[in-house]
A and B are shown apart, each in its own frame.
Chain A
Amino acid sequence: DTGVSQDPRHKITKRGQNVTFRCDPISEHNRLYWYRQTLGQGPEFLTYFQNEAQLEKSRLLSDRFSAERPKGSFSTLEIQRTEQGDSAMYLCASSYGELFFGEGSRLTVL
């Protein structure tokens, strides 16, 4: 088991472009979470899945954000029409109890 992996690790994009992040959870974990973390802050909850069902979405997740977890395995987080305020570290975690985090995907919007 290699833990939670996220791709890409870094993404630089221009304002208005779309970006997609991928998360591969620990294989036996049925829950998968997305968080956003900005400098000096704690992780902010965005959404989570149990298997393929999206159970909760934060109000932070505007209609420009969408997350999927087809077949209950990997997950993608897409941000459409990126804004400079979207610049942050996007963290994925999987769980069968406690959260196990990946290294994160850092987004910079120019």
Chain B
Amino acid sequence: AQSVTQPDIHITVSEGASLELRCNYSYGATPYLFWYVQSPGQGLQLLLKYFSGDTLVQGIKGFEAEFKRSQSSFNLRKPSVHWSDAAEYFCAAGVGQFYFGTGTSLTVIP
């Protein structure tokens, strides 16, 4: 069955520190992959996407993600976190029908 796993429910980082959010997927073939961010009371905003090609993709707000087929992973990274990055982050995967992980809540300490 198709599924998306985000192992970290909550992560706390200091402002200026680097960030990596983990995402693993289970799918029959290589799916389309996405990262979305959701701030409290706000809608889901697309950070970046992977359809094919270069396995390192750049997104908005300084985020990047790397697709690793051998590990069925699509981890999100940012070199230096800003206080405004505090939010809920969701990984999604699929072809036609898209599945979301349960999310990782990011807290940024000043």
Binding site for B on A (CB under 8 A): 31, 33, 35, 40-45, 48, 55-56, 91, 93, 97-104
- In the complex, residue of chain B having the shortest beta-carbon distance to the beta carbon of A35: B100
* Contact among B42, B92, B102 for A99, CB-based, below 8 A: B92
* Contact among B32, B42, B49, B102 for A41, CB-based, below 8 A: B102
Inter-chain contacts of B42 with A (CB < 8 A): 103
- In the complex, residue of chain B having the shortest beta-carbon distance to the beta carbon of A100: B46
User: Is there an interface contact between B101 and A48, defined as CB atoms closer than 8 Å?
Assistant: no
Provide the bound-state CA to CA distance between A97 and B90, in Å.
17
B96 at the interface (CB under 8 A from A): yes
User: Is there an interface contact between B44 and A98, defined as CB atoms closer than 8 Å?
Assistant: no
Provide the bound-state CA to CA distance between A35 and B92, in Å.
13
- In the complex, residue of chain A having the shortest beta-carbon distance to the beta carbon of B42: A103
Of residues A35, A40, A98, A102, which shows the largest number of chain B Cβ atoms within 10 Å of its Cβ?
A: A98
Provide the bound-state CA to CA distance between A103 and B103, in Å.
18
- In the complex, residue of chain A having the shortest beta-carbon distance to the beta carbon of B105: A40
Given A48-B97, A101-B45, 19 more contacts at CB 8 Å?
Answer: A40-B102, A41-B102, A41-B103, A42-B6, A42-B102, A43-B90, A43-B100, A45-B100, A56-B97, A91-B44, A97-B49, A98-B34, A98-B46, A99-B44, A99-B98, A101-B44, A102-B43, A103-B42, A103-B43
Whether A56 touches B98, Cβ cut-off 8 Å, given contacts A43-B44, A91-B44, A98-B49, is no
B51 at the interface (CB under 8 A from A): yes
7 A-B pairs with CB atoms under 8 Å apart are A35-B100, A40-B103, A43-B44, A43-B90, A45-B100, A91-B43, A98-B49
Provide the bound-state CA to CA distance between A27 and B90, in Å.
26
Inter-chain contacts of A33 with B (CB < 8 A): 98
B63 at the interface (CB under 8 A from A): no
